[in-house]
Structure 1
Amino acid sequence: MINFPYKIILASASPRRQDFLKALEIPFEIRLKEVEEVFPPTLKREEITNFLAILKAEPFLKELKKDEILITSDTIVWLDNAALGKPKNYHEAFSMLKSLSGRMHEVITSICLTSNRKQVIKHDMTKVYFKELKEEEIKFYLESFKPYDKAGSYGIQEWIGLIAVTKIEGSYFNVMGLPTEKLYTSLEEFTAEG
């Protein structure tokens, strides 16, 4: 286990992000605050995820102690010059997966590290290629896995990833919601700089 000289606070209810920190052997505490995830419509790609990751840190700024680092993050799927976030319902999820079928899309995640002295934002991007999906495959996935908590309406680690993904370029873990290598390296740099 690597001991960072800070207490790590994860501001995420995502079980995947929590599992990643556990797998990295980084001790952490979970703190959650409600944030309305709305961004200006003029933003594109990592501008969106950077904005939202920073926005999620704002409610914590006045309470961070000097030995604490807060981790906030946001992930989107980028397709046709638009962001696909979490679907609101079955119909929206079906439409998203239909639009991803047979095409390449980008998964963009931003990580924001915040202490009471500084803030650093980093992002990662992975290209994901899908085969053509049959309607019954989309329906089966949505009915069986209900991926309404996932950007782009899918989890690459689930059934749909096993049958649909033909190729990825970049970090697999980024597509799952957290670019672990970038997070680990960023924490090392953040704590080394003091």
Structure 2
Amino acid sequence: MMYHYAKERGARIVGPNCPGVASPGKAKVGIIPNVVFRPGRVGVISRSGTLTYEIVNGIRENGLGQSTCIGLGGDPVVGTSFVDALPWFENDPDTDLLVLVGEIGGTAEEDAAEYIRQYFTKPVVAYIAGRAAPAGKRMGHAGAIISRGKGTAQSKQAALEAAGARVGRFPFEIPDSSPRFSGSGV
């Protein structure tokens, strides 16, 4: 009901269970600490709250900044998906590279990979949390459950790599996973 109410009025719901949205130097809504941001040209879309902070801070510590950071939330039903957000970054002249942070459970990352493969032209660097999670066991919150071979870190990583994304094995690898992070002015 809330989703349709917002859509009818041209608004967007982000979350639930998310850290918010920030465009450094412009605006922030949510609980993401200001100290991790720096204005720049790297877009970030994430399902994980804490990993959002870690990845964004790593980007900043490498001398780069973010155009916009969107925390989608990790629950099974969210107001904004990766596929909803990807066109915003594709069409954003202030974003040169996208970082996608996913986690186990559901098929949001596989859906994003298909969108990236078909429509997204900017470089994508990704990290998927939960490589060691056992199948069928809920890990942390409602969205992090693997079932019937779908939603595993491995299936998400394979889909993103097939779409052309570079996928890091650990969060600290993300700022180093692309030549665009190595001081080229992104």
Tell me the TM-score normalised to structure 1 length: 0.35
Greater C-alpha Rg: 1
Q: Which has the higher strand share?
A: 1
Tell me the TM-score normalised to structure 2 length: 0.36
Q: Which has the higher helix share?
A: 1
